[in-house]
Amino acid sequence: MSTRIVVDPVTRIEGHLRIEADIENGKIKDAYSSGTMVRLLEEILRGRDPRDAWAYVGRVCGVCTSVHSLTSVRCVEDALDIVIPPNAEMVRNIMFCAQYMHDHVVHFYHLHAMDWVDVVNALKADPKKTSELAQSISNWPKSSPGYFSDLQKRITKFVESGQLGIFSNGYWGHSAYKLPAEVNLIGLAHYLEALEWQKEIVKVHTIFGGKNPHPNYLVGGMACAISTDDVSGLNAERLAYVGQLLQQGKEFIEQVYIPDLMAIASFYKDWGAIGGGLGNYMSYGDLPWNGYRDTSSYKFPQGAILNKDISKVYDVDLRKEDEVQEFIDNSWYEYKGKGGLHPWKGESKIKYTGPKPPFENLDTTKAYSYLKTPRWKGNAMEVGPLARVLVGYARGKEEFKMVVDKALKDLNVPVTALFSTLGRTAARGLESTLVAQWGLDFYHQLIDNIKKGDTRMADSSKRNPEKWPDKALGVGHSEAPRGALAHWINIEDEKIANYQLVVPTTWNASPRDGKGQVSAYEAALRDTPIADPKQPVEILRTVHSFDPCLACAVHLYDEEGKHISRISVLGD
């Protein structure tokens, strides 16, 4: 018997992604991932001033906002041959680190934890035992029996009111939940603490970028002038506050996020063999210690891994026309020619051939997505935390080896457990600890540089378009929290002639290519066991492990395509 499951947007305005999956013999036989919303910033940017592009592309998303702006200014700086001053590089890096800490913690607690933590079961926990357990895994001060007992009372009141609110979409009591009640209560307590914490770390963006979301960037540097004794500039007091925020962020990650992640993971080791998918991983690299052009100084190294073979890492070159290409065999677009296009020659002409909405099912034998299908040298690649951690590990970087080997040892699982849903979720936590430390390192680097008397924050020598070449090509890349991100630009006569974004979710969530090769989501969902098709919490675990950049709902259908039930899926 085959059951059709559909993951589709549920928000009040049209969402982004839909997944249709066939279940057979308790496992997913095949899955189709479809983007049902057109973004097309590429068309909005055409003809505009390249110096303004960052402000438009930042609006791709309110969560990943900062990284799109960062990628955009890097891309224009590449085209115009601008090298930004060290201070600007460090400020960008510090903002990047703050973004990671915020994004990964929010993902873990608010978008993913409830796939593993049973909220209702937490009501059965013994506060005293919970306190003992919490104190045995961490030094975090909020861990007294009274603390947990107060929280439990508030949740009980909340649940008894019949208004589950934020938790109303869970499969509470499902047999796939394996945590003891005490671990569930700790998870829930930290869900709420993380909520309070997240509003602090984003202040780093407001200090350097003026506001959040959508902080200000600048082609040539950053728009925050250093003036250590001016009340309105980036003064000593504000810089000290940034240091304090980064320190607090690091403490939360080390004392709350990581102990919780490890405690939860230890009960779900079977997920170290589920949801692996492609086995191909790619990172563009990021966090330059010695300038963006010196790729060898990147904290996150660049590289590609094929077929889970971590003994070999391939170099990735975004300029080479035969490396990154986008195909449209199963996408609602048309190209002038055939085959794949390198983004410098990219086209974004829409040709919708799908069913007229509202519809029950997509015809997945034809084009079924607004996402194009990117390939690296013809290969489908997974991008994101797992790809970054594997590339760092495979490149033999000491910091990566240390955190990965320790986690594998603590959980007592083999290195192959990394290629999984659990591996993806763990990698996000592991890189968070690295990034939390690097954020402080970049902060001290910045302070030292200012102390040496260097207060330059921007190179404005190319501000005037009269100094630009008639034609220029540029590419900028970054490692967004969700994975490798790049923008390609063609500048002609001082205006944007073409602009292409290839975003992490396009790599991971794209439809299959002309050869039938599936992308990361579709690959990872295959063979995922589903204990109860009416409550497919297992699907949520794997989809959420990618940190999908979308809001969606799971609809269940029987073999006739009849609607059985529907649940919301939290994404961001």
Partner 1 sequence: MEERLLIMGVGNYLMGDEGVGVHAAQKLMSSGLPGYVDVVDGGTGGFHLLEYFEKYPRVILVDATLDGQKAGTIRLIKPRFASDFPKSMSTHDIGLKDMMSSLQLLDKIPEIYLFVVSIEYIQQQGVEMTEEVEAAMPELLNKVTELAVRLSPETATVTSR
Q: Which residues make up the interface to partner 1 (CB under 8 A)?
A: 9-16, 37, 61-63, 106, 110-111, 154-155, 158, 161, 163, 165-167, 192, 195-196, 198-199, 202, 212-213, 550-551, 568, 570-572
Neighbours of 560 (CB within 10 A): 6
CB of 539 to partner 1, least distance (A): 17
Task: Report the distance separating Cα 281 and Cα 272, nearest Å.
Answer: 17
Nearer to partner 1, 486 or 550 (CB): 550
Nearer to partner 1, 45 or 550 (CB): 550
| Angle 190-176-2 from CA coordinates, rounded to 5° | 135
- In the complex with partner 1, which residue's Cβ is closer, 75 or 202? 202
Q: How far is the CB of 395 from partner 1 (least distance, A)?
A: 34
Q: How far apart are CA 43 and CA 322, in angstroms?
A: 24
Do residues 157 and 208 lie in contact, with contact meaning Cβ atoms separated by under 8 Å?
A: no
Q: List, edge to edge, every strand of the sheet that includes 483-492.
A: 471-480, 483-492, 495-502
Structure tokens at 127: 């506060």
Give the nearer residue to partner 1 in terms of CB position, either 132 or 150: 150
Task: Please give the structure tokens belonging to residue 3.
Answer: 């059951």
Q: How far is the CB of 240 from partner 1 (least distance, A)?
A: 21
Quote the distance between the C-alpha of residue 286 and its chain's center.
14
Q: Which residues pair with 283 in a beta bridge?
A: 303
Residue 10 vs 262, nearer CB to partner 1: 10
Q: Name the DSSP letter for residue 417.
A: G
Give the DSSP H/E element, type plus range, for residue 568: strand 563-569
Q: Residue 119 Cβ, how far from partner 1 at the closest point, in Å?
A: 10
Residues in Cβ contact with 93 at an 8 Å cutoff, skipping those fewer than 6 apart: 287, 288, 438, 439, 442
Name the residue with tokens 């357990």: 133
Between residues 34 and 490, which has the closer beta carbon with respect to partner 1? Answer: 34
Amino acid identity at 31: A
> Of 94, 96, 50, nearest to 73 (Cα)?
50
CB of 477 vs partner 1, minimal distance in Å = 24
Nearer to partner 1, 350 or 531 (CB): 350
Considering the complex, state which of residue 187 and residue 288 has its C-beta at the smaller distance from partner 1.
187
349 phi/psi in degrees, rounded to 5: -95, 120
Minimal distance in Å, beta carbon 63 to partner 1? 6
Report in angstroms how near the CB of residue 254 gets to partner 1 at its nearest: 23
Integer angstrom CA distances of residue 466 from 37, 79, 178, 481: 39, 14, 65, 37
Q: What is the DSSP string of 516-536?
A: ----HHHHHHTT-B-S-TTS-
CB neighbourhood size of 292 (10 A) = 21
Beta carbon of residue 326, minimum distance to partner 1 (angstroms, whole number): 23
Of the two residues 189 and 362, which places its CB atom closer to partner 1 in the complex?
A: 189
Q: Which of residues 56 and 289 has its CB atom nearest to partner 1 in the complex?
A: 56
H-run or E-run covering 500? strand 495-502
Considering the complex, what minimum distance in angstroms separates the CB of residue 516 from partner 1? Answer: 31
How many Cα atoms sit within 13 Å of 10 on the Cβ side?
16
Residue 285 vs 571, nearer CB to partner 1? 571
What Cα–Cα distance (Å) separates residue 167 from each residue in 110, 177, 525, 565?
10, 15, 24, 17
Give the nearest distance from C-beta 157 to partner 1 in angstroms: 9
Report the residue number, 6 or 430, with the smaller CB distance to partner 1: 6
d(CA 519, CA 524): 9
Structure tokens, 235 = 């003064």
Distance in angstroms (rounded) separating the CA atoms of residues 424 and 417:
10
User: Which residue reads 């909005």 in tokens?
Assistant: 44
Q: What minimum distance in Å lies between the beta carbon of 166 and partner 1?
A: 4
Shortest distance, position 177 Cβ to partner 1, whole Å: 20
Q: How far is the CB of 156 from partner 1 (least distance, A)?
A: 11
Cβ-contact 382, 522 below 8 angstroms: no
Tokens of 427: 């990698």
Around 507, how many Cα atoms within 13 Å sit in the side-chain half-sphere?
31
Q: Which residue number, 337 or 358, has a Cβ lying nearer to partner 1? A: 358
Closer by beta carbon to partner 1, 158 or else 267? 158
- Minimum CB separation of residue 195 from partner 1 in Å reads 5
Examine residue 504 and say whether the peptide bond preceding it is cis (omega within 30 degrees of 0): no
Helices (H), 202-235: 203-209
